[in-house]
Amino acid sequence: MTTSIPVVRSDAHLAHAGLIELAGGRPIPCWESPDRALAIESALAADGRFVFEVPTEHGREPIMAVHDADLLDVIEHAWTNGLAAGATDGSRPLIPDTYLLGRYAGGMALHSLPTSRHLRLGAYLFDTATPIVAGTWSAARVAVDVALSAAERVLGGAPLAYGLCRPPGHHAARGMFGGYCYLNNAAIVAEWLRRQGGARRVAILDIDYHHGNGTQQLFWERGDVLYLSLHADPARAYPYFSGYAVETGVGQGAGLTRNWPLPARTGIDGYAIALAEALALVAAFAPDAPLVISAGFDTFERDPIGDLALRTLDYFEIGRLVRALGMPMIVLQEGGYAVDALGANALALLGGLHGS
């Protein structure tokens, strides 16, 4: 009898809604919306292979092991500070109008940041696509609990567990957030596996359309975490400033970051070649922890903000190839914005990973 696949999910993400981003200077509805998670959940609920579970509270310690306290303080309190100061009337998200670039200071020693967190947003946020609303902090906190609870299911014996995380996480770095991401769910799980799970070596496979700049930064100098990312070439795609093949880590982490920037309209044939190279590196690294997968479906041929060419059935093949490693797997949701296809794509990937 085939075992059920645990799916950890929460309704907390529903309060992270009414989101606006600035694209080319124009305000548009965020592509990252509650409909994404709802579409996936609906498809999985109609399939008998999945069992839904609620996350358990893990506190701030696993988050603090990855992110700076100042970053958490800003994300948690920017909304209430902005509301009190009249920066928003409650109907509009907060997006900063001024960003603290590294070149701003030059040779100067900056005295301090503003006291109010909503005025400090631009010192931590790196784009105009990651707004703060009343429910942002609670949604981001619970997304971490979703991820960690999925990890606990796998450590408890499940060969595969899926954390339906929203908001996503792989663009969030130690002291910086953006790309729809506030807290780095996959990185927090990897660090938790090291600290709490007793692992010496953890591998993260990132198959989102966009480069996971936050995850790469967090483990750039680490010798105990392997980060592998297949993504659109940053010469043409967000986040533009990282994800090139020459980026391979430094110090103890030298060679433990690897990037495969892909040409536009890459289909399963080209994708499978890059994936095979990544999986060979996982095998050589020999992790002693479950494989952490940052799973994005914005590689889909009809994704509105992507330009690769994977089809729904291709995700089953990707899952099958990864499953051949013979490792337990923690799958965490990242991007994917073709809402009408998200459920089918998630079913295909998880089916391939599960062998069902």
**Catalytic residues, which ones?**
171
208 close to 170: Cβ distance less than 8 angstroms: yes
Distance CA 168, CA 129 (A): 13
Distance CA 331, CA 35 (A): 20
Distance CA 96, CA 247 (A): 30
Q: SS3 for 164?
A: coil
Q: What angle do CA 131, 134, 136 make, to 5 degrees?
A: 55
For 106-209, where are the alpha helices, taking DSSP H only?
Answer: 117-120, 136-155, 185-195
Side chain identity, residue 255: G
Tell the residue number behind the tokens 């495969």, with chain if given. Answer: 260
Structure token digits, residue 209: 């359309």
Return the bridge partners of 229, or none: 206, 259
Distance CA 12, CA 292 (A): 23
335 close to 210: Cβ distance less than 8 angstroms: yes
Distance CA 168, CA 296 (A): 9
**Which DSSP state fits 253?**
G
